[in-house]
Structure 1
């Protein structure tokens, strides 16, 4: 009996395709579900076809598991540790500008090429250096140090898109905005704890939109969206202020908006003082000043859900104190009370990530003592003696090494800023002893202002320092620019050639314009006002620096005095120019009852080739509300 040959079973094309598809597609493997092939050859599997997904079969694909995520995280952490433990030469190299106390400029003022490596080329093309605002670019600034990247959590889910009115912000755009914020802006105030967009929105939506607004100031993809976003933030932030109980993220929203205010603000309508005051009050009511998060003696009642760690509480409190002092200084207000026990807060921040924040806090704590003393002297004597200011300068030189063991870009700028805040009181002398101020003291302030402008422009060329800087940096640049312009246009002007004087003035104006984010914002308007005065300064009377007023505005008093003199000088020049040209341009007083057409007898004659009709007088009138008893040029555009 012979065995019959094995019978062959015919196979259908579907069976052959199913035999070949012995590997599930990527989507089904990731979701851990059974992959059912479609009847047609080459078609997507049934699940991918139903969900409209791209079906890809790859035998080498490995499903991402918790174990693989942990292994990847360990590899990244090991790479970061190696990068931090072996710093490169570029990371160690720091910039230390020459100290203004080593050499005082009595006779010659050459432009410091060592501190402005790329400024000469910029000054050869003024239109590029002194533009109205920084052009928008998708290129972010330099990455923040590795030590500041350690706390950025790993994202486990995609970022959800958000709606702002009728505008859709995709998850990809949100990721881009948050990444640029953390790299470019966060180092100025490194207190954000919700660094994942989804977590940030769930915790505090207004903080989420404030972060996107700050990034869009420089890197927006749609100017219409930026305008709507600014309007939304302005509306929501004032609603937030009416909330009697704020969590930590709401306080962060107030602090960030005080650092980067809306572009629609003016000098007399800056809400930063209000924002930081309410933020500091709520922080104290949560017990953050104790350095303990979720303090059971403070977080009671409605605040019992305000949770935070000791590190988060300490960093927020130091940021409140630092900003409160800085904003009070550039606003001309008496200093706030921030001198509480900060030992526990500093102990909780024993991490390289907080280095710049601690440096800023220590510097402003020292300046808080200084401004308290100056406010007392101004209140009792009407001014400050130069010997007292010199004493504080000497003390600052002694304690500088304590503030920053390893100088950074920010610490170098802060040291120059602190020195300038002190030396500006040379222009507010004691009415009995030091009136007018001695030329040597004027030259010291002038030299510090010049170094601050040069340092800021150098750092701008290296790391876009002014482009990303907080608002208090711009206010310091304005103070330095006013000192430079006023001294150059005074009888006590140092021995300097007209060309060098023009270079210094253009540097100061360029630094102000680099802080502008859009046309007609506060930096742009301030730059135009100062640039207008310098353009026609040769036809205007000299400024007598011994006649400074505004003493009650403390460190900003000299800047207010300068801007007032700029306005008065240009008004007088306009009246003289109109009289010479026999033009009928009446000057109306505030009560509209007096018409003044004749020029003042003491005004110098204006050259016929000077056209002051190009001056934007609205900037003077709207910026400072100068509609007073002296009259304003209402007839001009």
Structure 2
């Protein structure tokens, strides 16, 4: 030993294991031992320290056993020695003794105990909350054993046999043990979106509801695919189907409202990521056909989503299905089935876009080109099903009507001239007759026939654009009347066939699309306008009144949530019918006499295509009753307008007020404003005080505040109900006596 205390290599005195020599000297036994320990996981724990089959053991001078290279997963996890034999495989003695699965995986990684314990603590906390929720739902636990608050309940999660934790649903099921002779039937959730969780049975039931009730309106999805397949294609498509199916889900009335906000977030986050999948386009087709409910059209994004749908479709080349690779960074080869799927999706995009253009009174963003050309007798990937082909032909006809009659470049409002429009009307009447004969001969069912009659109504609504001095004006109105009554009567008749009972909405109305609801609203306003004008002289009073009643009832049946747009529009139509004056000449026209038309049916709003009637009627209603709210009309005149109230339109929850006037049970109506059903009349009592004249803001409009006089009538979606109608619908019931 020298002065520094270090023993030379030739010295006989053994070095301390902690000395620098022991750390550096590879021939020292202690150094070999430390080296073995550091390589324990990568060497054979069954031998003292060798690293391969040819390594000699320093102490015994024997070769290591052949075929042993690494420890099994369980021993590696615990950092224990393992005597597993890899070739031929023979499990280690520890796994055999503990009855563990002995296996060797090349990608196995140890799980840190601290992180795993922290994760288990979080998992246990989640499970406790889930079990508490299960208890609240009526499931009972055996408090004598396995209480989740005790350590015994959490001991099942302290094992290290599997590096991955159990799923929360499986863990909850394992914790809720079976009682003797009983079962808890704990639901196992398979799909989750934010705070909405669904079991496999619920998902299966909702998908079955969608394909049996909603799919006939737009038959383009494959009913033979499983829900999991739709989820794998895209989450938005899966949740869109679930959302549409939950609109009338009787087992859980709150599911639809619970899904609205999460689906909206999923929808807009998907759009924000610039989707490049045609499965997203399919989801948008569904959400545009059955939009998420809203009580204000200013917040209705359907028209915007329609544009996103069409731009996404063209962006990924759906309009050129045979040349999809031109719109992709990689080469794409589609088989016959994939090509047909894209052609069908593109056809449905145009069907949906056209119906939205017609229903909202806006130019449709459609593209009818070679891919959608009708090829009779051809069988191939470009051939659509008979129902979709008929729907496509119907929407193409509606597109012609809209573009020719309401897209005049020489007119500031786009409306074709009177002579040109009269000529177009003759041409399209003949073309519609041919289309109707062709489609009806195929017997494609009530859904196709319903859209066919809606197309005829769309065509005939152009009659309101004629001047009262135009030749054939009364004939055009008569054609409109017939188209309207045919649409309403056939809809109600077909719905009665699918109805499970009398006075109950069947599948057609209950699951109707937004477009059918919009056309029903247009039909209701046609009946209202014609029945309260000079034209009423040549119609049957009772039939007109009954048709209006049933139309309002049908619109109410389409409503899916409290105070959505269909329900608000139905109540508005009731107010207009009750508040309008009845012409004493109704039904008195003699066949040999001449009907003299006036200008009472002329439109002020003329920029909303065939839906201009709807917006014009609401516009006039706003002008009249806003004037009443400001007190600019004479009280006698406003009071007289309410004396012709149709009592059959008043819900049964209403009663007679102290002064003999009809009074709503709505608590927002004050006694001084009890002149009408939330809006049938302005004056409450016989005296014409200022309180009776405007009803404290409650007389004509059912408890709402009158808007600012500078109100922008045309909001972003160009509706005029926003900020004006705010009814209390707790009393909404079917029309009395109908």
TM-score, structure 1 normalization: 0.64
What CA distance in whole angstroms lies between the structure 1 residues aligned with 2:622 and 2:256? 33
What CA distance in whole angstroms lies between the structure 2 residues aligned with 1:343 and 1:169? 38
Aligned residue for 2:308? 278
1:283-294 maps to which residues of 2 (within 5 A)? 283-292=313-322
Aligned residue for 2:405? 374
| Match status 1:527 vs 2:557 | no
For structure 1, which segment, 531-540 or 303-312, has the greater mean C-alpha deviation from structure 2 after superposition?
A: 303-312
**What is the CA-CA distance between 1:475 and the residue it aligns to?**
0.7
| Match status 1:458 vs 2:471 | no
| Match status 1:547 vs 2:586 | no
8 Å contact from structure 1 (residues 427, 548) kept in 2: yes
**What is the CA-CA distance between 1:474 and the residue it aligns to?**
0.7
8 Å contact from structure 1 (residues 331, 556) kept in 2: yes
Deviations 1:335-378 (A, max 9, x none): 33423113578656679982211111111112212211112348
What CA distance in whole angstroms lies between the structure 1 residues aligned with 2:727 and 2:608? 30
SS at match of 1:288: coil
SS at match of 2:197: strand
8 Å contact from structure 2 (residues 189, 198) kept in 1: no
Aligned residue for 1:204? 234
Considering fraction of residues, name the structure with more helix.
1
- Which consecutive residues of structure 2, in runs of 5 or more, have no partner in the other structure? 1-173, 179-186, 499-506, 587-597, 644-659, 663-674, 680-697, 714-719, 729-738
Deviations 1:440-491 (A, max 9, x none): 2112101111111111111211222111121111111111111011100112
Which one of the candidate residues 356, 359, 372 is aligned to 2:390?
359
- Alpha-carbon RMSD across the aligned residues, in angstroms, is 4.0
Q: Quick one: higher RCO (CA 8 Å, sep 6+), 1 or 2?
A: 1
8 Å contact from structure 2 (residues 563, 727) kept in 1: no
Q: If you compute each CA radius of gyration, which structure gives the higher value, 1 or 2?
A: 2
SS at match of 1:169: strand
8 Å contact from structure 1 (residues 159, 175) kept in 2: no
| Match status 1:328 vs 2:357 | yes
8 Å contact from structure 1 (residues 160, 170) kept in 2: yes
Aligned residue for 1:396? 432
1:609-628 maps to which residues of 2 (within 5 A)? 609=661, 611-612=675-676, 614-615=678-679, 628=711
8 Å contact from structure 2 (residues 371, 382) kept in 1: no
What CA distance in whole angstroms lies between the structure 2 residues aligned with 1:364 and 1:215? 25
| Match status 1:506 vs 2:549 | yes
Which one of the candidate residues 544, 560, 581 is aligned to 1:517?
560
8 Å contact from structure 1 (residues 159, 174) kept in 2: no
Aligned residue for 1:472? 515
For structure 1, which segment, 216-225 or 418-427, has the greater mean C-alpha deviation from structure 2 after superposition?
A: 216-225
Aligned residue for 1:106? none
For structure 1, which segment, 341-350 or 486-495, has the greater mean C-alpha deviation from structure 2 after superposition?
A: 341-350
Aligned residue for 2:62? none
Aligned residue for 1:234? 264
8 Å contact from structure 2 (residues 440, 449) kept in 1: no
**What is the CA-CA distance between 1:626 and the residue it aligns to?**
8.6
What CA distance in whole angstroms lies between the structure 1 residues aligned with 2:708 and 2:404? 31
What CA distance in whole angstroms lies between the structure 1 residues aligned with 2:566 and 2:618? 14
Cα 1:497/1:298, change in 2 over 3 Å:
closer
Cα 1:305/1:237, change in 2 over 3 Å:
farther
Which one of the candidate residues 613, 617, 622 is aligned to 1:562?
617
Deviations 1:101-159 (A, max 9, x none): xxxxxxxxxxxxxxxxxxxxxxxxxxxxxxxxxxxxxxxxxxxxxxxxxxxxxxxxx99
Aligned residue for 1:419? 456
What CA distance in whole angstroms lies between the structure 1 residues aligned with 2:433 and 2:542? 33
Aligned residue for 1:67? none
Aligned residue for 1:256? 286
Aligned residue for 1:428? 465
| Match status 1:444 vs 2:479 | yes
SS at match of 1:221: coil
**What is the CA-CA distance between 1:318 and the residue it aligns to?**
0.3
For structure 1, which segment, 277-286 or 349-358, has the greater mean C-alpha deviation from structure 2 after superposition?
A: 349-358
Cα 1:501/1:539, change in 2 over 3 Å:
closer
8 Å contact from structure 2 (residues 704, 726) kept in 1: no
Cα 1:384/1:392, change in 2 over 3 Å:
farther
8 Å contact from structure 1 (residues 286, 295) kept in 2: yes
- Which consecutive residues of structure 1, in runs of 5 or more, have no partner in the other structure? 1-49, 55-157, 576-585, 588-595
**What is the CA-CA distance between 1:417 and the residue it aligns to?**
1.1
Aligned residue for 1:17? none
Cα 1:382/1:173, change in 2 over 3 Å:
closer
Which one of the candidate residues 220, 244, 248 is aligned to 2:274?
244
**What is the CA-CA distance between 1:390 and the residue it aligns to?**
2.5
**What is the CA-CA distance between 1:298 and the residue it aligns to?**
2.2
8 Å contact from structure 2 (residues 495, 509) kept in 1: yes
Aligned residue for 2:129? none
**What is the CA-CA distance between 1:246 and the residue it aligns to?**
2.5
**What is the CA-CA distance between 1:241 and the residue it aligns to?**
1.6
SS at match of 2:608: helix
Which one of the candidate residues 405, 409, 415 is aligned to 2:446?
409
Cα 1:525/1:421, change in 2 over 3 Å:
same
What CA distance in whole angstroms lies between the structure 2 residues aligned with 1:289 and 1:620? 51
What CA distance in whole angstroms lies between the structure 1 residues aligned with 2:709 and 2:391? 35
Aligned residue for 1:267? 297
SS at match of 1:295: helix
What CA distance in whole angstroms lies between the structure 2 residues aligned with 1:352 and 1:251? 20
Aligned residue for 1:482? 525
8 Å contact from structure 2 (residues 517, 566) kept in 1: yes
What CA distance in whole angstroms lies between the structure 2 residues aligned with 1:557 and 1:229? 34
8 Å contact from structure 1 (residues 261, 471) kept in 2: yes
Cα 1:252/1:525, change in 2 over 3 Å:
same
**What is the CA-CA distance between 1:623 and the residue it aligns to?**
13
8 Å contact from structure 2 (residues 347, 372) kept in 1: no
SS at match of 1:192: coil
